[in-house]
Amino acid sequence: MIDKLFVIEGDSNNPHRNLALEAVLLKRLQPGECYLYLWQNKHTVVIGRNQNALAECHVQQLEQDGGFLARRLSGGGAVYHDLGNLNFTMIMNTEDFDADRQTGVILKAVQLQGLRAEKNGRNDLTVEGKKFSGHAYYHHAGRSYHHGT
């Protein structure tokens, strides 16, 4: 059961630092705790744990343009991050993990902003049929996270 919730706002736009902090938070999580980590990356392509970077983006062009390529622990597809989107990670013990409940939190927050958001497909959230958020999950050693944009 979750009895302590911590909200952590990232202070960097570097994807390597942000993804490393996500992993550290997962490792340091204590029983009964839940972290909501909010963060942004600058000009970044993030790929899932099983993807081939060369098949997902033009790596050399990305780097020439001053962008970053980063790999996350979770699966899922490649995504582009910039300062126009906000990323979230909900980190908790696996026994407290419920993807539907967690997705409901994101949906409710967006709906409170006056948007008619809905869950569509396996891990996507949409407004008027247009995807605005994809989600991925990671489970390890009794701890889990759910992250997305």
In order of their start, the domains of the chain are 4-98+135-148 (3.30.930.10)
pLDDT at 123: 84
Q: Model confidence over 7-57: pLDDT tens digits?
A: 999 999 999 999 999 999 999 999 999 999 999 999 999 999 999 999 999
How many of the other CB atoms lie within 10 Å of CB of 99? Answer: 13
List pLDDT tens digits, range 83-134. 999 999 999 999 999 999 999 999 999 999 999 999 987 789 999 999 999 9
Name, in order, each residue with C-beta under 8 angstroms of 33's C-beta and a sequence gap of 6 or more.
Answer: 2, 4, 5, 6, 92, 93
- Confidence at residue 121, expressed as pLDDT on a 0 to 100 scale: 77
In this prediction, residue 122 carries a pLDDT of: 77
**pLDDT computed for residue 40 by the predictor:** 98
d(CA 20, CA 97): 21
Nearest to 37 by CA among 74, 76, 92: 92
CA distance 66 to 20: 20
Helix, strand, or coil here: 117? strand
